Chains A and B, each alone.
Chain A
Amino acid sequence: MKAGKYIPVALLALVLIGIQQLTQMTGTVYYLTQMTMTAYYALLVIGLCLVMGYAGQISLGHAGFFAIGGYTSAVLTTYNLTPLLEKGNVLISFMQASGVLVTRQSLYGQTLLSVHPWPACIVALILATAIAFLIGIPVLKLKGHYLAMATLGFGIIIYRVALASEIFGQADGISAVPGFVLLPDLIVSGDFNNRVQNYYIACSTLIIGFLLLQNLIDSRVGRALRAIHGSEEAANAMGVNTTRYKLYTFVLSAVFAALAGILLTHYNGGIGPSEAGIMKSVRYVAIVAIGGMANLWGALTMAAILNFLSLRGMFGSYDDAVFGSILIIIMLFAPNGLLRLPIWQFFKKSPAGK
């Protein structure tokens, strides 16, 4: 449609390149680590923004989808299949023959046989999609507080499962997750030598995700979503299958969350149950709210700023309290988000009339 909407995105890309150059010049390359993580969290937030801001549904369980993606990929890429292979498991030998398994050395020189990150990533995404469908079909029949409570319940279940299961490492989570070799020489990992590369991988993923959602919002589907938000009854009467649209949006955002979880897990080399925690979900909702709900740019900006500050430890032990307070303050004083406060009107010289 309008080519103009791509200009801000191009500017964003330039800013991101500028930031990297700046850290290089000032010798603060270590900032890139938090920025990379921030980009992955932001990927989840813009997906949630579509659900909350545009389709008008709430989800307090998105950390759950993040965890489903991260944990699935972590388990598959770290679980040692050598004993099963030695026992002559047909499935494992078939998988090895078809090349979805890789061997690597553990820290102690032991040979590990596990799933390659690519098939692991695909399985994780499929699993997240399936769970989002299974949860979404009954839950999206609910509205308002009831939907919030149901998704909250889902989040708690995922958190508790992660915390209780041996295979998910219980309270310790899963560590020693290998890097994700996207292409030869393009590896998602926390290796210091890969820092700049990973910053660009994360930023590119985020920008691609952002462009996809921006296009979607401008399309026939986006119009239908905004219509559902405005009046579900009228949208339905105009031929929009509101149930299906809400479900697909929910699933799409779950895929965004799962992808963020997968990539961040490989980047960090591990994942713990705190990633599935309720306070994480609350944090994402707070960021979408402060960004102005139906505002993809707002969500992106706020996700970048707040996650970065939080990851740099600016909020100290009050981290969760800060995000809780943000949510309360925003709801009370700026329900349309920080970027739509009346104060900004002073800076915009509006022509007489309108």
Chain B
Amino acid sequence: MTLLDIKNVNKHFGGLQAVSDVSFAVRKGMIKSVIGPNGAGKTTLFNLISGNLPLGSGTIFFEDRPIHGLRPYQIARQGISRTFQNIKLFPGMTALENVMLGRHTRSRSGFMAGMVPFPATRREENEIKTKSYELLELLEIRQFAQVEATSLAFGQQRAVEFARALASEPQLLLLDEPAAGLNIYETAEIARLITKIQSHGITVLLVEHDMSLVMDISDEIVVLSFGQKIAEDTPSAIQLNKEVIEIYLGGADA
């Protein structure tokens, strides 16, 4: 079953065609990766899906509902959650509080309930906390719950960001270069966490640079180059794809 359907998506910045007529689909339950050299339009594509950038043209459907044109917070409410390449945790908040914020779409207390907390509000707050602890547990960072999130090691910050993204119980998790800035051990650790997340029934779409991560965990790979999709296949087939090898290794000179 198709969860996310991207059709003929275009985006240009001035004269630069960052994403050019890209189409692909993400089926439920899989890990799908988008790879490509620097400047291939991966992150732009990502920001188009999450609503951080307005679409030039084309359509994006999530569970057969159009999501193009929605604001990021509306897309989040549909069940799509994301992380950022340059980790965007909230400074001055503990790891736990960061994850609790991720629960925003699954809770409802407003300004009035916040100022005059009735039992129902407190119950909701406790539920948020319980669920957030569960996620910290899942990502194996429970011991850092009360530590200010931005003071953690980079790999741990990534895990907090994962937990925050998962707190909204998304159907689809978008990971923007989850291995960026990590060493090989931390990358292996992140790969393990991503498969763990997938085993909980969450579909993952990730954009990545790091080949080892992508080849190990992906079910399918989309290759972008200069904004265009040049291949879409399983990891083993991609490794043998001539065109892909060319763009990565420099073509005829290699």
Contacts and interface: CB of A to CB of B under 8 A. Distances in A.
Contacts, number: 104
B97 interface: yes
B88 A219 contact: no
Interface string A203-227: 0000000001101101111111011
B150 to A, nearest CB: 9
A236 B104 contact: no
A235 interface: yes
A239 B109 contact: no
B100 A223 contact: yes
A91 interface: no
A233 interface: yes
A142 B73 CA distance: 19
Interface in A186-245: 212-213, 215-216, 218-224, 226-227, 229-231, 233-242
Chain A interface size band reads 20 to 34
A165 to B, nearest CB: 33
Nearest to B97: A223
Interface in B54-98: 71-73, 76-77, 81-82, 84, 88-93, 97
B111 A248 contact: yes
Contact of B102 (A219, A221, A226, A238): A238
B78 to A, nearest CB: 10
B105 A239 contact: yes
A236 B71 contact: yes
A136 to B, nearest CB: 14
Contact of A213 (B90, B93, B115, B125): B115
A294 interface: yes
A1 B122 contact: yes
B250 interface: no
B234 interface: no
A44 interface: no
Given A215-B115, A215-B117, A224-B101, A240 B73 contact: yes
A339 to B, nearest CB: 15
Q: Which of B52, B89, B90, B116 has the most CB of A within 10 A?
A: B90
A219 B121 contact: yes
Interface string A37-65: 00000000000000000000000000000
A221 B73 contact: no
B97 to A, nearest CB: 6
A150 interface: no
Interface string B107-136: 101110111110001101100100000000
Contacts of B117: 1, 215, 219
Q: Which of A227, A234, A237 has the most CB of B within 10 A?
A: A237
Given A234-B84, A238-B164, A216 B93 contact: no
A219 B122 CA distance: 9
A215 B121 CA distance: 11
A233 B114 CA distance: 23
A239 B93 contact: no
Given A227-B101, A239-B105, A215 B116 contact: yes
A132 to B, nearest CB: 14
A233 B52 contact: yes
Nearest to A231: B88
Contacts of B121: 219
A224 B76 CA distance: 14
Contacts of A240: 73, 101, 104
17 contacts: A213-B115, A215-B117, A219-B125, A220-B125, A221-B109, A223-B104, A226-B93, A230-B90, A231-B90, A234-B88, A235-B90, A236-B71, A237-B52, A237-B81, A238-B76, A239-B73, A242-B73
Given A233-B52, A234-B88, 10 more contacts: A1-B125, A222-B114, A224-B104, A230-B93, A235-B90, A236-B72, A237-B84, A238-B101, A238-B165, A239-B73
A-B pairs, 10 with minimum CB distance = A219-B114, A230-B90, A239-B76, A239-B105, A234-B88, A212-B115, A221-B114, A216-B114, A236-B72, A231-B88
Interface of B: 50, 52, 71-73, 76-77, 81-82, 84, 88-93, 97, 100-102, 104-105, 107, 109-111, 113-117, 121-122, 124-125, 128, 164-165, 168
